[in-house]
Amino acid sequence: FFVFNFAISWGPVCWIYPAEIFPLGVRAPAVALSTAANWAMGAVMTEVVKLFPHLNINGVFFLFAGLCCICGVFVYFFCPETKGMMLEDIEALFQSGKQPKSPAFVEIKSPQQSLA
């Protein structure tokens, strides 16, 4: 049940978002580093339960639920929506120095508006 829900929600984001947000000059090494971090954190998360032997199944659930809530807050405030944006627009967004406060901050342009 968890794997299915993760695969249709947060799972693909870890692979797609890094390939979109990094500038072209550093994209390959940055995506490689984010992939390594993804695999390393996956290994850590599978072993973290062994560090807390006093946690029962409810404690493990609330531990991971709390981590998911923290991740959700981080994504809401620091990861702008990139749907419908060209890679050049995403790079310009991060170079502008403006800090988006929510995903609604990003103006989504059509390809015709971007070329005009």
Same domain, 55 and 112: no
Same domain, 93 and 39: no
Q: Which pTM was predicted?
A: 0.64
Same domain, 71 and 112: no
Q: Taking the CB of residue 16, how many other CB atoms lie within 10 A of it?
A: 11
Same domain, 34 and 64: yes
Same domain, 73 and 94: no
Q: Which structural domain, as residue segments, surrounds residue 45?
A: 1-79
Q: pLDDT per residue over 68-93, tens digit each?
A: 899 888 888 888 888 888 888 888 87
**Among candidate residues 59, 61, 48, 71, the one with its CA nearest the CA of residue 2:** 61
Average pLDDT over residues 61-72: 86
Same domain, 97 and 75: no
Domain count, the chain: 2
